[in-house]
Amino acid sequence: MFQALADAVGAEHVIAGDDPSVADLCADEALGVPAGKPAYVVWPADREEVVAVVNAARAAGISVTARGAGTGLSGAATPDDGAVLLSFARMDRILEIDPVDAVAVVQPGVALDVLDAAAGEHGLTYPVHPGEQSASLGGTVATNAGGMRAVRYGVTRAHVLGLEAVLADGTVVRTGGRLAKISSGYDLTQLLIGSEGTLALVTEVIVRLHPHLPARRTVLAPFTGGADAVTAAVGRIVGAGLAPSVCEYLDGPTMRAVCAAADLTLGLPEDLVDADHLLVELAGRRVERVDEDAEELADTLSALGAAEVFDLPAGSARRLVEAREKAFWAVKAAGADEIVDLVVPRSAMAAFLGRARAVGDAHGSRVLGCGHAGDGNVHLAVFQPDPEQLAATLHGVFAAGIALGGAVSGEHGVGRAKAHHLAELGDPGALDVLRRVRAALDPEGTLNPGCSVR
Amino acid sequence: MFQALADAVGAEHVIAGDDPSVADLCADEALGVPAGKPAYVVWPADREEVVAVVNAARAAGISVTARGAGTGLSGAATPDDGAVLLSFARMDRILEIDPVDAVAVVQPGVALDVLDAAAGEHGLTYPVHPGEQSASLGGTVATNAGGMRAVRYGVTRAHVLGLEAVLADGTVVRTGGRLAKISSGYDLTQLLIGSEGTLALVTEVIVRLHPHLPARRTVLAPFTGGADAVTAAVGRIVGAGLAPSVCEYLDGPTMRAVCAAADLTLGLPEDLVDADHLLVELAGRRVERVDEDAEELADTLSALGAAEVFDLPAGSARRLVEAREKAFWAVKAAGADEIVDLVVPRSAMAAFLGRARAVGDAHGSRVLGCGHAGDGNVHLAVFQPDPEQLAATLHGVFAAGIALGGAVSGEHGVGRAKAHHLAELGDPGALDVLRRVRAALDPEGTLNPGCSVR
Ligand SMILES: Cc1cc2nc3c(=O)[nH]c(=O)nc-3n(C[C@H](O)[C@H](O)[C@H](O)COP(=O)(O)OP(=O)(O)OC[C@H]3O[C@@H](n4cnc5c(N)ncnc54)[C@H](O)[C@@H]3O)c2cc1C
Ligand SMILES: Cc1cc2nc3c(=O)[nH]c(=O)nc-3n(C[C@H](O)[C@H](O)[C@H](O)COP(=O)(O)OP(=O)(O)OC[C@H]3O[C@@H](n4cnc5c(N)ncnc54)[C@H](O)[C@@H]3O)c2cc1C
């Protein structure tokens, strides 16, 4: 097998999986998924080398797990034992930024912040902003990544116009194009988005860029009357057409943790730190309009029961948004045992938080929350060292979310961490269809078999 | 078979396909697709009856073609000979409008204008506006309909959050939910959107609604220097972030035809009527802002070579937009033999128009154009009574669009009219995948076998 892979990518780009130098690549950032033991790690340089790796692996009856930046939170990039781990790190070129059509064409290993900076040189932005901007385009396509700005711009799915990808049988397919829209047969682009490296390996991505919005205002509103009021405020803000570019919820403990981790003092009165917080950013083309909207926003928040409405200076705003993006590291450092990423109808967020905390209480687990409130996408940190109690807590939390009309993942994907939750809680008919689709595209189970729909 | 269908939906809701009363249902509005000869037409009342029809048809080895409002332009709802034609006309209830989460839950037979009016009572809108607002939710989901407002709001795909659907084997599946986003396995909602009744029959649709924007301004800019300048202007308008809610191109002859058909006099100087026209509508929450943006828009258009920039009074604006929506009827009445719906990169629209006209000239065909310029989606009317010359013209036009990076359909779908163009011009690897997906979901070819990916 080594020789076949060396023939595919060059011997200097193959390393045995038990080599200590690749230990860091054998897991992503998911808290509950143990590292895998791949047979080999390979770094192809281009599409043809990806094809050669897939063909070699399939011929040997070995599976292939793709790895982007490894920032995933579901164990989707954690290789199956004995697999070939295929890193896209060398395929990291921006092939084109076309400011006229406002599209970018990139290799999958390009990091989000690199693309966004390159787009910025043309007054454009790529607005997919998960908390970790080192994530790769390929990885974000494979997870359908969301992030804070999705409330305004939509998730990855809304931005990908076309793909080039390698199927399990080594065929190269091209989907979509530099096209604002398309209705020419089933949408293979959309089918591959969110498929977590199980249907195809993406070797090129065409994305839509957006005009950069220079004007910005950020307000922080602590609510002391419970999360219900936060949920109501979010509905009103979105409903009014204010189109916030950030609309985040943080409970008191999470606010404390992220501020502490970022060494950030907002100067909130001590009793307000423990409130339920709503952090809202408005962005636009013109300062006057954003200022005017910020007034309307503040009025709305006050009217709906915010204890205070803080108009954050630009520096603090940026630091708080960044600290919120890094909430995962803060709760990880605090010893969180699992992160939950359920999505529920926007109006059900408070109800879900309440039920999730009750489930936690019943099992002696601590449950903290923040989330993309504008999307009803809740990130819970669950603290429970006992594996059985942890499993019971998670089971209860997932069941509570599904009962409210939710789904197991809003943006982190299914990966290995949630495959059994999806199998248990998803719609049986729909899951059966997805399994048939998977079998039709990858009959031998070559692509990331331990991951996603099983 | 009659009895099996009568058992499924009640005898009073089954009619033999050769009954004159159903003649109008045997074709959609596609110009080049002859009417089909269904064995029966049935009108189920609910999901269970749809299941029963599908099961009865499959058991008898007969196929099923779904019909919404029959306004499609690709022959997708034209039944195969001998098929059961399943009309969703009786499943036309709005089940819920939820103003808090800004979603609607509807049966597939609900017409777009009915939903939009109901949403309007809550200050909301369903912004999918193909030219024919009598189109059904089910039909628009099945074609991934676009329309004029897609340039701002996106196509149907951007608005559908969840579906209930009946598979070829009679299984009922539920996808998505009232969820702003989801990443929980491959996205079956997205796979079904645009599948033209070939993968499943949609029995319920959950869509996102948007705040109604009360302020509006519309300008008409004739360009006498050729369509290149129009294309450049569109790029600049979208690039500036003006977010037009309508951004339409009309060539001179089309402008003449739609104004004549609508009995609309805009008072343009005669020499300007024959120019290339750009029609742009801005919409927003506040009048002052839209007015300010309209100034910016007018300046941009003048700077980029518009011969004039007419600020249309509200009444004329509405009538011109409506007349443009009805362009199909105008060119049909004028004797058009085919309508083409290619989509190309936005910046390639003028080049495509030029090449398409050259192809027309080479075959003695008249080629007129209008289109959703903001999306690069061109609607050509081709006048050529001779079938061979017509086929040669269409072949050349499709090849020209594909060569510019385009796709066979931007929004009307593949249907029966374009199935061979797609098979010939689509990416072979991608088409093979789509065929495998289709076979996996409908192994016996029960659902609309003559349509779409073949
Ligand atoms: C601090 C922090 C904050 C985060 N915040 C968010 C957030 O707000 N929103 C959000 O959505 N996510 C968030 N994430 C999760 C993570 O950033 C995303 O899931 C991201 O999409 C992963 O990208 P990656 O390149 O790291 O992919 P990886 O983790 O390397 O892989 C993810 C999946 O993609 C597959 N894959 C990778 N490349 C390819 C390819 N070229 N072709 C096919 N499959 C491929 C892998 O096999 C795997 O299944 C956060 C993570 C961290 C650590
Ligand atoms: C004057 C005019 C202007 C138009 N302008 C536009 C435009 O601007 N943009 C645009 O996109 N389209 C436009 N169209 C085309 C048409 O309106 C759209 O294609 C629309 O989506 C068709 O909806 P329908 O209900 O009439 O569907 P039908 O024509 O009845 O069916 C279309 C397809 O959907 C399938 N289908 C219907 N219901 C279901 C269901 N419940 N489940 C599964 N499959 C189903 C049918 O089998 C068929 O494949 C225009 C048409 C006309 C006549």
Is the predicted pLDDT of residue B137 greater than 90, yes or no? yes
The total of structural domains in chain B comes to 4
What residues of chain B lie within 8 A of the CB of A195, using their CB? 186
For helices A227-239 and A349-362, the axis angle rounded to 10 degrees is: 150
Contact (CB, 8 A) for A171 and B429: yes
ipTM of the complex: 0.97
Task: Supply the pLDDT for residue A267.
Answer: 85
Domain assignment present for residue B29? The answer is yes
Confidence class of residue B267 from pLDDT cuts 50, 70 and 90? Answer: confident
Residues A321, A343 share a domain: no
Domain assignment present for residue B430? The answer is no
- Return the closest-CA partner of residue A76 out of A188, A198, A202: A198
Is the predicted pLDDT of residue B47 greater than 90, yes or no? yes
Ligand 2 pocket test: pick from B24, B67, B134, B188 the residue with the most ligand atoms within 8 Å of its Cβ.
B67
Ligand 1 center from residue A134 Cα (angstroms): 9
Task: Supply the pLDDT for residue B381.
Answer: 97
Tokens representing B415?
């249907």
Q: What is the pLDDT of residues B164-203, one digit of tens each?
A: 999 999 999 999 999 999 999 999 999 999 999 999 999 9
Q: What is the pLDDT of residues A153-174, one digit of tens each?
A: 999 999 999 999 999 999 999 9
Task: Supply the pLDDT for residue A271.
Answer: 87
Q: What is the pLDDT of residues A329-344, one digit of tens each?
A: 999 999 999 999 999 9
Last residue of a domain, one of B151, B185, B211: B211
Share of chain B above pLDDT 90, in %: 98
Please judge whether A187 and B191 are an interchain contact, meaning their C-beta atoms are less than 8 angstroms apart. Answer: yes
Q: What is the mean pLDDT of residues A298-307?
A: 96
At B259 the three-state DSSP class reads: helix
Closest chain A residue by Cα to residue B192: A186
Ligand 2 center from residue B431 Cα (angstroms): 23
End-to-end, the C-alpha distance of chain B in Å comes to 27
Residues A151, A260 share a domain: no
Residues A313, A379 share a domain: no
Residues 6+ apart with CB under 8 A from B120: B212
Q: Which amino acid would we find at residue B77? A: A
Give the pairing type, strands A210-211 and B310-312: unpaired
Domain assignment present for residue B434? The answer is no
Q: What is the mean pLDDT of residues B222-232?
A: 94
Share of chain A above pLDDT 70, in %: 100
Domain assignment present for residue A438? The answer is no
Residues B220, B205 share a domain: no
Contact (CB, 8 A) for A213 and A225: no
Q: What is the mean pLDDT of residues A3-28?
A: 97
CATH code for position B313: 3.30.70.2190
Last residue of a domain, one of B40, B65, B87: B87
Q: What is the pLDDT of residues A102-145, one digit of tens each?
A: 999 999 999 999 999 999 999 999 999 999 999 999 999 999 99
Neighbour count for residue B283 (Cβ, 10 Å): 20
| Closest ligand 2 atom to A183 CA | 11
Is the predicted pLDDT of residue B271 greater than 90, yes or no? no
- Return the closest-CA partner of residue B400 out of B452, B453, B451, B362: B362
Q: Which ligand is nearest to the CA of A107?
A: 1
Task: Supply the pLDDT for residue B92.
Answer: 98
Give the pairing type, strands B215-223 and B276-284: antiparallel
Work out the mean pLDDT of chain A and round it to a whole number.
97
Confidence class of residue A100 from pLDDT cuts 50, 70 and 90? Answer: very high
Write down the number of H helices and E strands in chain A: 16, 18
Domain that holds residue B373: 335-415
Q: What is the pLDDT of residues B405-442, one digit of tens each?
A: 999 999 999 999 999 999 999 999 999 999 999 999 99
Last residue of a domain, one of B382, B399, B415: B415
Please judge whether B376 and A434 are an interchain contact, meaning their C-beta atoms are less than 8 angstroms apart. Answer: no
Domain assignment present for residue A436? The answer is no
Residue B337 Cα, gap to closest chain A Cα (Å): 21
Task: Supply the pLDDT for residue A266.
Answer: 85
Task: Supply the pLDDT for residue A383.
Answer: 98
Domain assignment present for residue A318? The answer is yes
Residues B344, B245 share a domain: no
Is the predicted pLDDT of residue B266 greater than 90, yes or no? no
Confidence class of residue B23 from pLDDT cuts 50, 70 and 90? Answer: very high
What residues of chain B lie within 8 A of the CB of A102, using their CB? 238-239
Residues A410, A397 share a domain: yes
Q: What is the pLDDT of residues B112-131, one digit of tens each?
A: 999 999 999 999 999 999 99
Share of chain A above pLDDT 90, in %: 98
Largest Cα–Cα distance of chain B, in whole Å? 69
Work out the mean pLDDT of chain B and round it to a whole number.
97
Q: What is the mean pLDDT of residues A193-201?
A: 98
Confidence class of residue A265 from pLDDT cuts 50, 70 and 90? Answer: confident
At A434 the three-state DSSP class reads: helix
Q: Which residues pair with A210 in a beta bridge?
A: A125
Using a cut of 0.90, tell me whether the model's pTM lies above it: yes
Please judge whether A194 and B185 are an interchain contact, meaning their C-beta atoms are less than 8 angstroms apart. Answer: yes
Contact (CB, 8 A) for B317 and B353: no
Q: What is the pLDDT of residues B290-318, one digit of tens each?
A: 999 999 999 999 999 999 999 999 999 99
Task: Supply the pLDDT for residue B68.
Answer: 98
